Chains A and B, each alone.
Chain A
Amino acid sequence: MSDTASTPPSAEIDEQTRRDFLLVSTATVGAVGTALSLWPFVNSLNPAADTLALATTEVNLAPIAEGQSITVVWQGKPVFIRHRTKAEIEQAKADDSAALPDPAKDADRVIKPDWLVMVGVCTHLGCIPLGQKEGEPKGDFGGWFCPCHGSHYDTSGRIRKGPAPLNLPVPTYEFQSDTQVKIG
């Protein structure tokens, strides 16, 4: 460097302000621009169009007898559909006034009380709760039980006991007819 040095050392010190301003502003614009240019790379990690395209699932409810449950896949996630018994509906309504970690009325979680539709993914760490099939544990509240870390859900899918913070979420869905729902 000493072979090509042309700026007298003292001059740099005397004219610091203007140079510093140019240096800092240039560097700032460069840094902001570089940071912004990262966005397309980060955004490419978000769900792609084909993943988003699988947004709805239609289900025929006719074959599901009272007291039975089925699991369907919506956006890759299991959705629990339970044809609830009269007793389960009564229990769910009675528990509206119980101490709930995530308070919600049963009436707000269903469109028709007979049919409980919700995403079957534990709100703790994403395991699939048991209780859909006969013989599986249904937990202390007659609904679902997550085997991973012991969360208990009631007959309305509300969290009652264990580490999960929230109720099983209810997806957007609509009845296309009495025996047909469209999820999503």
Chain B
Amino acid sequence: MSEQQPTSKFMQNGVVKWIEHRMPIFSFIDHSVGSGYPAPKNLNYWWNFGSLAGLALIIMIVSGIVLVMHYTPHTTLAFNSVERIMRDVNGGWLIRYLHMNGASFFFIAVYIHIFRGLYFGSYKYPRELLWIIGVLILLAMMATAFMGYVLPWGQMSYWGATVITNLFSAIPVVGESLVTLLWGGFVVDNPTLNRFFSLHYLLPFVILGLVIMHIWALHTFGSNNPTGVDVKGPQDTIPFHPYFTIKDLYGMGVFMLIFLFFVFFAPNYFGEADNYIPADSLATPPHIVPEWYFLPSYAILRAFTNEFILYWPVSWLMTAKLAGVIAMFGSIILLALIPWLDTSKVRSARYRPVYKWFFWIFVLDWIVLGMVGAHPAEGIWVVLGQVATTYYFAHLLVILPILGVLERPLATPESISASVTQPAE
């Protein structure tokens, strides 16, 4: 559909005019992603990842709906129904591999999108709510991905579900009853599989709703941009369509090439071989590891042992296990508070010479946490995980607030145009 000026030939079409008069959907689309949405003219390729995440969501919903037509949510049949999809259903292997790898690429796009926001200060006034909705999307994605991974009912599905649901048993007093409620039994079993299936189908549409709110909040003040300087007037913007629709389409082409490379040539690269063994409730695999996108969170969870320095202040109050669970969820929820933890008024790291370094250290820290999460909790990995966990929280709770006060930012350009016509420094 071409989104053009309301005065365009398209808008003069009789049918379009008839609909538009009764429900102005065409001008709504035009103002959302069309020529009626003025976008900062200096958006770079880091701004592609929002629409890429949207593309990934659509791929997941479409492939998921088709998979459900062939999948059976029952402990005795689930594993075999997935194998049937892989072997017998026409093109089933392709649809499943799209869905499996689509989850990974959804997270890749979203993580880059988040780090882009952190670098360019996209979470600062007036975009705090936009950012918070984004964190909610991340949480919903994590819940969806976790429950989806349980559905094939392989060994990793089963034991991943067991370990993660057992986290809630750390909650004092009600923990055990809560876990029984989650399971619908005394172990992860058929009732658990059925409810996870139900919620795994529901949550993507919750995410879709959150995405619409995310875009709504985005359009209230418009996109941030690499300078972090507010749009001062029409000279700073260009219409979203065709300039950024074409840029996004180009990015989608590149994204799809990489995504489809994995789908066709390394479809199990992101997976675990153990998940091709049917679930066995009496044998735990020797090395349980979550999907890669959970590894940093998993590392934070496991960092909390009785010897961990961050555990000492709360050791009189709770077990190390509970502290780990709180830290893991806290590490994501804290992201929602970044607009207030970061005290600097300057948005873009381009004009924050010190923050720029701390940003990259934070990225590195996050990658280290991911590596720690992938290894058994032994030897050097324990220490490394505890150091990286400490730094993660120090970055958010100590460095960000103090840096905003101490750092002397560079002069920001007067406007987006001025940043090009009169280079700073």
Residue of A nearest to B286 (CB): A147
Count of chain B residues with a beta carbon within 8 Å of a chain A beta carbon:
34
Chain B residues in contact with chain A, CB under 8 A? 159, 162-167, 169, 180-187, 189, 191, 195, 281-284, 286-288, 302, 305-306, 319-321, 377-378
Q: A residues bordering B, Cβ < 8 Å?
A: 42, 45-48, 51, 71, 73, 75-78, 124-128, 146-150, 163-165
Assess the A125–B184 pair: CB atoms within 8 A: no
Query: Is there contact, CB below 8 Å, between B378 and A150?
Result: yes
Please state if B186 and A76 are interface contacts (CB–CB under 8 Å).
yes
CA distance A165 to B286 in the complex (A): 21
Chain B residues with Cβ below 8 Å from A164 are 321
For residue A34, give the distance in angstroms from its CB to the closest CB of chain B. Answer: 20
In the docked arrangement, what's the CA distance between A145 and B307, Å?
20
Whole-angstrom distance between the alpha carbons of A78 and B284 in the complex? 11
Residues of A within 8 A of B162 (CB): 125-127
How many pairs of residues, A versus B, come closer than 8 Å at their CB atoms?
77
- Secondary structure class of chain A's binding surface, majority of residues: loop
B184→A46 contact, CB < 8 A: yes
B186 x A165 contact (CB < 8 A)? no
Nearest CB in chain A to that of B159: its residue: A127
Q: How far apart are B116's CB and chain A's nearest CB, in angstroms? A: 34
Question: In the complex the two chains form, is A51's CB within 8 Å of B284's CB?
Answer: no
Are A147 and B287 in contact, CB atoms less than 8 angstroms apart?
A: yes
A148 contact set on B, CB distance < 8 A: 163, 284, 288
Q: Give chain A nearest CB distance to B141 CB in angstroms.
A: 22
Known A-B contacts A45-B195, A51-B185; the reply to A163 vs B305 at CB < 8 A is: yes
CB<8 Å pairs between A and B, sample of 22: A42-B181, A45-B184, A46-B181, A47-B183, A51-B189, A51-B191, A76-B189, A78-B281, A78-B282, A124-B321, A125-B162, A125-B164, A125-B321, A126-B162, A126-B165, A126-B169, A127-B284, A149-B302, A149-B377, A150-B378, A163-B302, A164-B321
Complex interface: chain B residues within 8 A of A76 (CB): 185-187, 189, 281
Docked Cα-Cα span, A5 to B39, in Å, equals 42
Minimum distance in angstroms from B107 CB to a CB of chain A: 23
* Closest A residue to B280 using CB positions: A128
Residues of A within 8 A of B163 (CB): 125-127, 148
Contact A150 B377 (CB under 8 A): yes
A48 to B180, CA, bound (A): 11
